[in-house]
């Protein structure tokens, strides 16, 4: 009877020990920084299969329970929720959050690429702040925007990110030319350039010079209201109305001026326009 009892006790003890050996527990920090290696503590005995599953990772390897599992920085470079799982029998798991590291990259979007001068809130700038692994930096960060014209002073405005984004709008200046904006955070700077171009023509005028059966037309220098010359290639329309009807010549500006020539068959009225700007009208006479 005693022998049976002894065997029974040994069996119970052995079973309890083996159950104890199979108990698996994983202990990881609840939060780690992206790219920083760390260790996960394990309990139990024997070997098990370890899995690390995250936003861009699904790793599997054999581990020895009771020893620490080393997780390299590369395996947790992407921020987000990770599951560490160890399967002996049964499986155990723990979850941890990988947080973005320090701001290191900027994605700077500046619109539009060309803008007429003196346009209110026509320029908008949006900046996304990322860490070196391209994770959105959620902690509020300060971004400086250095705004400069070629001949003008540089002014700086500051934006504070919310969920990794900061933005602002501004008007274009009165003078045409390159407008450079540099977004900067720490050692990282992203320059962008907008071309400020002349606005609509202002005070458009032409003169007519008769030349036999023809009349030659030439505008004065075409500029916007701030004195910026309109770029070469901008179309100017000359329109002649006479007894024969109406005819139009569209011609590009060359060196600030536009020229055209009409054949005259009698009295005619000639007008000039550039975009939305209307110029003067002339009455020219010819032989009926």
Partner 1 sequence: MKPLILASTLFASACLLVAHLRDTSIEVRAASLPKVILNAESITPRAIEQRTGEMVTHNYAQAWQDMAACVETNRTDLVNDYFTGEAKARLTHLISDQRKSGLRTHYEDRGHEVKAVFYSADGGEIQLEDRAQVEVQIFDGQKMIYSSASPRKYLVLMTPGADRWYVRSLESVGDETF
Contact residues toward partner 1 (CB under 8 A) are 31, 49, 51, 53-60, 78-81, 83, 85, 87, 91, 93, 95, 97, 99, 109, 111-112, 124, 126, 128, 134-136, 138, 162-165, 167, 169
Q: Which is nearer to partner 1, 98 or 215 (CB)?
A: 98
Between CA 12 and CA 17, with CA 13 as vertex, the angle to 5 degrees is 120
**Closest CB 3 distance from partner 1, rounded Å:** 41
**Closest CB 59 distance from partner 1, rounded Å:** 7
**Closest CB 82 distance from partner 1, rounded Å:** 9
As to burial, measured by CB atoms within 10 angstroms (0-12 exposed, 13-18 middle, 19+ buried), residue 154 is: exposed
Q: Which is nearer to partner 1, 18 or 56 (CB)?
A: 56
Q: Which is nearer to partner 1, 92 or 264 (CB)?
A: 92
Q: Which is nearer to partner 1, 36 or 78 (CB)?
A: 78
Q: Within 10 Å of residue 261's Cβ, how many Cβ atoms?
A: 14
Contact 129, 103 (CB under 8 A): yes
Question: What SS3 state is found at 125?
Answer: strand
**Closest CB 86 distance from partner 1, rounded Å:** 9
Q: Within 10 Å of residue 247's Cβ, how many Cβ atoms?
A: 13
**Closest CB 113 distance from partner 1, rounded Å:** 11
Q: Which is nearer to partner 1, 32 or 217 (CB)?
A: 32
List helix spans (H) across the chain: 2-22
Residue 59's contacts (CB-CB under 8 Å, 6 or more residues apart) are 50, 51, 52, 53, 75
């Amino acid at each position: 009877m005693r022998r049976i009892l002894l065997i029974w006790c040994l069996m119970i003890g052995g079973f309890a020990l083996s159950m104890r050996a199979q108990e698996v527990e994983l202990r990881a920090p609840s939060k780690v920084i992206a790219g920083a290696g760390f260790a996960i503590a394990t309990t139990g005995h024997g070997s098990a299969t370890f899995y690390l599953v995250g936003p861009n990772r699904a790793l599997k390897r054999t581990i020895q329970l009771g020893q620490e599992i080393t997780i390299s920085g590369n395996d947790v470079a992407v921020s987000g929720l990770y599951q560490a799982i160890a399967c002996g029998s049964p499986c155990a798991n723990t979850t941890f959050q990988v947080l973005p590291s320090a701001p290191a990259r900027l994605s700077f979007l500046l619109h539009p690429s060309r803008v007429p001068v003196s346009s209110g809130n026509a320029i908008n700038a949006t900046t996304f702040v990322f860490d070196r692994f391209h994770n959105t930096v959620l902690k509020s960060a300060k971004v400086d925007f250095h705004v400069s014209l070629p001949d003008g002073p540089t002014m700086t405005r500051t934006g504070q990110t919310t969920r990794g984004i900061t933005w602002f709008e501004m008007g274009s200046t009165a003078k045409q030319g390159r407008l450079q904006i540099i977004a900067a955070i720490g050692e990282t700077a992203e320059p962008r350039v907008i071309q400020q171009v002349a606005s609509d023509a202002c005070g458009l005028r032409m003169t007519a010079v008769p030349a036999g059966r023809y009349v030659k037309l030439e505008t004065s220098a075409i500029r916007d209201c701030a004195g910026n010359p309109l770029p070469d290639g901008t179309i100017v329309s000359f329109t002649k109305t006479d007894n024969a009807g109406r005819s139009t010549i569209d011609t590009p500006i060359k060196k600030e001026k536009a020229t055209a020539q009409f054949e005259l068959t009698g009295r005619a009225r000639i007008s000039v326009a550039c975009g939305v700007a209307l110029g003067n009208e002339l009455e020219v006479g010819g032989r009926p």
